[in-house]
Amino acid sequence: MVKGNLLYEGKAKSVYETDDPGLLLVYFKDDATAANGAKHGVIPGKGVVNNKLSAFFFKQLKDRGIKSHFVETVGEREMLVKRLDMIKLEIVVRNIVAGSLVGRLGLPEGTPLNVPVIEYDYKSDELGDPMLNRWHIMAIDVATIDEVNRIEHVALSVNTILRDILRAKNVDLIDFKLEFGRDVSGDGEVLLADEISPDNCRFWDVVTHEKLDKDRFRNDMGGVEEAYQEMLRRLTL
């Protein structure tokens, strides 16, 4: 595998072409942003943690029948993935009230939800990533009804699997974001993509409710690097 041209430069990752048109190389950076990019910083070692944890979770999901773009890790910060036609949605799965849901529902942070809640955000920097429902998604041709049903089924399955894995490590999965794309090398099957890490998940210690995720950076809580490292330690050591 030969690393090619830079294809995409994101806030937390860089994506490169390879000599295989069906594969891409993802590089995980230490850069961190919050408040829609208004806050910038660096979390030392974040890219290494996110690469390793994402690989761990993708492997665990594969063992349980959930397909993703993940192929293999290539060094501490790089991951080889299938090239996908990305669906312009962030899928948010919520188990416990936190973040923006506190203000929207008027409930205290930490309130358990009776059932997992799925939300959709339209990936558009110009529009500020507005929330959509499934009817908006179909109306503006972001995804078909079959794809939406597939996404929801996989998202809820991922939620169940991850909660079980994390609970065994004394971690609660509060909420998380997923992304999906269509496999361009195959029959267009919708696959799980992006990453699963403290950047896009809220992880709390079961007993102390200590935050072990990016909220420590967002809210200037300190101990950010230590929280990321603690998640890696709990899950992979």
Give the Cα separation of 214 and 130 in Å (integer): 21
The arrangement of secondary structure in 3-84, i.e. its CATH architecture, is: 2-Layer Sandwich (3.30)
How many percent of the chain have pLDDT more than 90? 94
Distances (CA, A) of 12 to 32, 40, 47, 119, 152: 6, 11, 8, 22, 25
Q: How far apart are CA 85 and CA 69, in angstroms?
A: 11
**Predicted local confidence at residue 94, as pLDDT:** 98
Q: What is the pLDDT of residue 213?
A: 98
Which residue ranges make up each domain of the chain?
A: 3-84, 85-236
Q: Is the pLDDT assigned to residue 37 strictly greater than 80? A: no
Question: Do 113 and 136 meet the contact criterion of CB atoms below 8 Å apart?
Answer: no
Cβ-contact 27, 5 below 8 angstroms? no
- DSSP three-state, residue 107: coil
Look at the block and give the residue holding tokens 């899928």.
Answer: 91
- How confident is the model over 49-79, as pLDDT tens digits? 999 999 999 999 999 999 999 999 999 999 9
pLDDT greater than 90 at residue 35: no
What percentage of the chain has pLDDT greater than the value 70?
100
Q: Kindly report the number of other CB atoms within 10 A of residue 110's CB atom.
A: 13
| Fold classification of 85-236 (topology level) | D-amino Acid Aminotransferase; Chain A, domain 1 (3.30.470)
Residues 66, 33: Cα–Cα separation, whole Å:
29
pLDDT, mean of residues 155-173: 98
What distance in Å separates the CA atoms of residue 78 and residue 90, rounded to the nearest whole number? 22
Tell me: the pLDDT tens digits for 41-55?
A: 999 999 999 999 999
What is the token pair recorded at 43? 């979390």
- 205, with CB counted inside 10 A (0-12, 13-18, 19+), is middle
pLDDT of residue 121: 98
Query: Using 50, 70 and 90 to split pLDDT, how confident is the model at 139?
Result: very high
Spatial separation of the C-alpha atoms in residues 38 and 18, rounded to whole Å: 32
- Cβ–Cβ < 8 Å for 122, 129: yes
Residue whose structure tokens are 């920097």 = 125
